[in-house]
Amino acid sequence: MRAVSPEVFLISRPEVDYVELAEYLRAVGGESWLQRVDESREGWNDGQNLAEFAGRTCYRSWEPGLNPNVTRVRSDQGEYLRNILASAHGSVLEHVNYTFALHNVSRVFTHELVRHRVGVAISQESLRFVRLNDIPFWFPEWAREDAELMKRATEMLDRMEEFQNWMAAHFGLDEDGVPFAEKKHRTSFMRRFAPEGVGTGLVWTANVRTLRHTIEARTAAGAEEEIRLVFNRIGEIMQEEAPALFGDYVVEDGAWIPIWRKV
């Protein structure tokens, strides 16, 4: 058994093609909004820019007069996006996607996470193909403080790990010439003897609308403790990454509570 802790890596964020965006804005008369884009774009946040761009497209609110119904436009991005959240205009947030690599999370965690299907993409490590030669396992702090529990749990996990390696030798999986199809067949059987708490990995992509909902739902007091830990970290990452889109949360006893809900 190998003790591990869940880890979160933000590996992909939106990237706006400002050349094409500029062509569109010239076509619709949105040059005044275009002027805000500095050539170096230093300090610009593509995720927030994309959300604002999508929102302004809906009302043609690049500047007053393009839409006769619009006589005033917000020039400050933070103010504009706060109004998007307050108005529950969440559809424009679906254009903005972030991708995370989640490392050493358990299959308990992934069984919970896959319940969030709208606005996400998931690629998970397959134990049909990936053979276990050790069992990475996360213990919460309260469990680590229980000496008798840890002794018994470690003994059981070590025995399961030993059995995984025994099966690999028994099936001759490392012998020369064993077809991959045979390895896959045996490995699929062997995973049945791994605990649901075994550490695994996945790539998880979600749009901002889904992220906001999932951070709130999975850090709530009644959520499973590992998923609370992971989404607390995701919340911290996103608050730093896109403060105008995630700055309205208040954290109380580990629960992330947004000012604007059901966006």
**pLDDT, tens only, 101-139:** 999 999 999 999 999 999 999 999 999 999 999 999 999
pLDDT of residue 42: 64
29-84 pLDDT, tens digit each:
888 887 765 544 666 899 999 999 999 999 999 888 888 888 888 888 899 999 99
pLDDT exceeding 90 applies to what percent of the chain? 84
What stretch of H or E contains 26? helix 18-28
Residue 259 has pLDDT above 90, yes or no: yes
pLDDT of residue 68: 86
Residue spans per domain, the chain: 14-94, 128-193
> Tokens 């619009």 appear where?
70
Average pLDDT over residues 153-167: 97
CA distance 209 to 212: 5
pLDDT of residue 76: 86
Task: Write down the pTM of the prediction.
Answer: 0.93
Least confident of 34-38, 90-94, 209-213: 34-38
All residues at 6 or more sequence positions from 151 whose CB lies less than 8 Å from its CB, including other chains: none
Confidence band (pLDDT; 50, 70, 90) for 190? very high
The answer to whether the CB of 2 falls within 8 A of the CB of 104 is: no
